[in-house]
């Protein structure tokens, strides 16, 4: 396999059986890496990082809230990229990837909204505020839920895949809006402290646990994505078998 070019391998793993073989080998190692990263991240986040001079211990919610929000956006980008590949290159597994990523992204977005709300009540005095950042994240959740609903409603898989791909691509305009919402509008949510021109302005002792948690969450997302893709491929095989026996 290693003497193939990247493009050749890209097309090779379009074969679901090869994908199942490779992903089956990857899931357990990725899971172990996830556990190690999140474990280390939690140790530093909860025990070995400084308290905030204003917020005290409550700032530690940030180490869950921020990576969740990042992963919510990242999952949508994975979904939109997979949808583009599905529509343009007709890669057979691209729509499986997009379908599998959606509930994960929705869960991360929901987690970000809930942890943000729990953080907001003691710190900023409110469970919710209709500023640009929170509203655009809520719209992101609506987009995820609509995408999942579309897959669930259209029964024919090929038709559902193409329609869902169109929806994911149209909704991808919300991703830059979420990121730049704190720049374009005056919000209660704080402006970007890490992903900004000029580099991160957060203290290193807080940046390291944050990055550990973020990378750990990303590996968690990839592990679950592979598992969900495998389940979806198996589900389609069952459906095909059922249809074949029904014709007999």
Partner 1 sequence: MMRAFISVVKRDVALAVQVGGGGGMAVFFFLVAVSLLPLGIGPNLNLLAKIAPGLLWVALLLSSLLTLDRLFQADFEDGTLDALLMGHLPLELTVSAKIIAHWLTTGLPLVIAAPFLGLLLNLGSAHFLPLVGAMLVGTPALSLLGAIGAALTVSVRRGGLLASLLVIPFYIPVLIFGVAAAGSDVSIPGAQHQALMLLGAVTLVSLVLGPVAAAAALRANLRS
Per the DSSP assignment, residues forming a β-bridge with 52 are 56
Let me know: does 144 contact 109? Beta carbons within 8 Å. Answer: yes
**Out of 1, 47, 158, 248, which residue is the one contacting partner 1 (CB under 8 A)?**
158
Angstrom distances, CA of residue 132 to CA of 30, 39, 94, 124, 166: 36, 33, 32, 16, 25
* Residue 170 found at the interface with partner 1 (CB under 8 A): yes
Of 88 and 241, nearer to partner 1 (C-beta) is 88
* Residue 118 found at the interface with partner 1 (CB under 8 A): no
**Out of 33, 129, 154, 207, which residue is the one contacting partner 1 (CB under 8 A)?**
154
**Out of 11, 18, 91, 162, which residue is the one contacting partner 1 (CB under 8 A)?**
162
* Residue 142 found at the interface with partner 1 (CB under 8 A): yes
Buried b (16+ CB within 10 A) or exposed e, 56-93: eeebbbbbbbbbbbbbbbbbbebbbbbbbbbbeeebbb
User: For residues 23-82, which are near partner 1 according to CB under 8 A?
Assistant: none
Q: Please tell me what DSSP assigns to residue 51.
A: P
Q: How far apart are CA 230 and CA 219, in angstroms?
A: 17
Shortest spacing between CB 172 and partner 1, in angstroms: 11
* Residue 183 found at the interface with partner 1 (CB under 8 A): no
Shortest spacing between CB 209 and partner 1, in angstroms: 33
Residues that bind partner 1 (CB under 8 A): 87, 135, 139, 142-143, 145-146, 149-150, 153-154, 156, 158-159, 162-163, 165-167, 169-171, 174
């Amino acid at each position: 396999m290693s003497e193939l070019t990247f493009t050749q391998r890209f097309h090779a793993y379009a074969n679901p059986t090869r994908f199942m073989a490779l992903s089956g080998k990857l899931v357990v190692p990725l899971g172990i890496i996830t556990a190690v990263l999140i474990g280390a991240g939690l140790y530093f986040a909860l025990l070995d990082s400084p308290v905030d001079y204003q917020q005290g211990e409550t700032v530690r919610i940030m180490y869950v809230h921020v990576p969740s929000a990042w992963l919510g956006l990242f999952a949508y980008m994975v979904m939109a990229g997979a949808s583009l590949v599905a529509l343009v290159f007709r890669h057979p597994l691209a729509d499986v990837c997009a379908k599998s990523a959606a509930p994960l992204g929705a869960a991360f977005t929901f987690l970000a909204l809930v942890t943000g709300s729990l953080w907001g009540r003691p710190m900023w005095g409110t469970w919710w505020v209709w500023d640009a950042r929170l509203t655009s994240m809520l719209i992101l959740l609506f987009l995820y839920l609509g995408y999942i609903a579309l897959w669930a409603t259209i029964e024919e898989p090929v038709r559902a895949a193409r329609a869902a791909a169109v929806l994911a691509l149209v909704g991808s305009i919300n991703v830059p809006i979420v990121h730049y919402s704190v720049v374009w509008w005056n919000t209660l949510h704080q402006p970007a402290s890490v992903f900004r021109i000029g580099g991160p302005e957060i203290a290193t002792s807080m940046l390291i646990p944050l990055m550990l948690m973020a990378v750990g969450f990303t590996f968690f997302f990839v592990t679950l994505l592979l598992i969900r893709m495998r389940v979806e491929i198996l589900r389609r095989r069952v459906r095909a078998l059922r249809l074949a026996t029904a014709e007999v």
